[in-house]
């Protein structure tokens, strides 16, 4: 099975490449700029066709939640029109598309975990652009799996876990939002789920359960609880540690509003694909352990202090 993933630099692409390394049953090819650019529609089909995919994973996206408020045209060009172009290319090539979306399509006002049939109501440009992308993907290719995920982290790229470890190395105390709840989700687990689902699609040519699914870590917490777990693991392993002080969303100013409830029910995905992510604490332990074994990984990249958000 030949899996082509869009976006070379993202957490999902890096995790897929690692997960497939050394396997004989799957090959992952990552495509990205400048040859493949979602803002240049002429590059999309040409690059994907040349990659000879059996399944396309649409992971490339505009992910800067706050900057999107100032760049709505670019956010929609990438997350909506670009995503639609990838799905259309997959349809022309006769292959399914697995598209990554986000909890930000919801406004966070529901009391419990969101299910796939709950009404979407994004709070900002980023969420609206990703919702538009979902609609474009569904319209362009009936053979689509749209995976909404949340609070993604990994040993790769920029994410909340790496930020907490980096900041804890420089300070004794950090303020983190405590009234936003969700499911921390390892991109390594997302990659494992994608490979599992892709194998199902590749094996079952009559698969007819295409549509929207939620995919997230098992269990829930808030951002400050997530931060404490990260730093408690770090301290136990001899890494940096700092005291976490709870603050409210209103005390942490951001340009874009965040949903206070990002909890996603994964019952539908588990039922369709017989796969469930590990408990978020287990996956967090694995990632923190890896990062602490590579000191440069913690310090790599620019500082990121947006405690309310996560990068997909």
Residue 196 has what pLDDT? 98
The answer to whether the pTM exceeds 0.85 is: yes
Q: At 159, list the tokens.
A: 């994410």
pLDDT number for residue 308: 33
Integer Cα distance of 101 and 185 in angstroms: 13
What is the predicted pLDDT for the residue at 294?
A: 74
Phi, psi of 242 (to 5 degrees): -145, 160
Please tell me the predicted confidence (pLDDT) of residue 295.
56
pLDDT of 3 over the 60 cut:
yes
Fold of domain 2-159+184-220+261-282 = Rossmann fold (3.40.50)
Residue 79 confidence class, pLDDT cut points 50, 70, 90: very high
Instruction: Identify which of 298, 171, 169, 183 has the alpha carbon closest to the alpha carbon of residue 245.
Output: 171
Task: Judge contact between 244 and 224, C-beta under 8 A.
Answer: yes
What is the domain partition of the chain in residue ranges? 2-159+184-220+261-282
Exposure b/e, 78-91, CB count within 10 A at least 16 = b: bbbbbbbbbbbbbb
- Omega of the bond leading into 98 within 30 degrees of 0 (cis): no
The residues assigned a catalytic role are: 126
Range with lowest mean pLDDT among 34-38, 274-278, 305-309: 305-309
Q: Read off the pLDDT of residues 249-280 as tens digits, 9 standing for 90 and up.
A: 999 989 999 999 999 999 999 999 999 999 99
């Amino acid at each position: 099975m030949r899996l082509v993933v869009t976006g070379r630099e993202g957490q999902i692409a890096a995790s897929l490449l690692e997960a497939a390394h050394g396997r004989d049953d799957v090959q992952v090819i990552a495509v990205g700029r400048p040859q493949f650019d979602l803002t240049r529609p002429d590059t999309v089909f040409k690059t994907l066709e040349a990659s000879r995919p059996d399944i396309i994973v649409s992971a490339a996206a505009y992910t800067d939640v706050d900057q999107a408020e100032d760049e709505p045209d670019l956010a929609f060009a990438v997350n909506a029109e670009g995503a639609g172009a990838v799905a259309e290319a997959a349809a022309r090539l006769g292959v399914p598309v697995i598209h990554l979306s986000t909890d930000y399509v919801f406004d966070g006002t529901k009391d419990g975990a969101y299910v796939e049939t709950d009404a979407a109501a994004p709070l900002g440009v980023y969420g609206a652009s990703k919702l538009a992308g979902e609609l474009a993907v569904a319209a362009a290719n009936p053979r689509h799996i749209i995976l909404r995920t949340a609070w993604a982290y990994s040993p790769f790229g920029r994410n909340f876990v790496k930020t907490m470890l980096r900041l804890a190395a420089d300070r004794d105390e950090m303020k983190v939002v405590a009234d936003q709840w969700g499911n921390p989700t390892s991109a390594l687990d997302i990659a494992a789920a994608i490979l599992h689902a892709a194998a199902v699609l590749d094996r079952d040519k009559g698969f007819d359960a295409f549509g929207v699914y939620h995919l997230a870590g098992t269990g829930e917490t808030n951002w400050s609880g997530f931060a404490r777990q990260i730093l408690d693991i770090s301290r136990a392993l001899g890494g940096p540690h700092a005291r976490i002080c709870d603050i409210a969303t209103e005390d942490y100013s951001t340009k874009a509003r965040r949903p206070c409830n990002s909890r996603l029910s994964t019952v539908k995905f588990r039922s369709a694909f017989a796969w469930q992510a590990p408990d978020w604490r287990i996956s967090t332990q694995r990632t923190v352990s890896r990062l602490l074994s590579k000191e440069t990984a913690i310090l790599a990249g620019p500082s990121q202090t947006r405690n309310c958000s996560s990068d997909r």
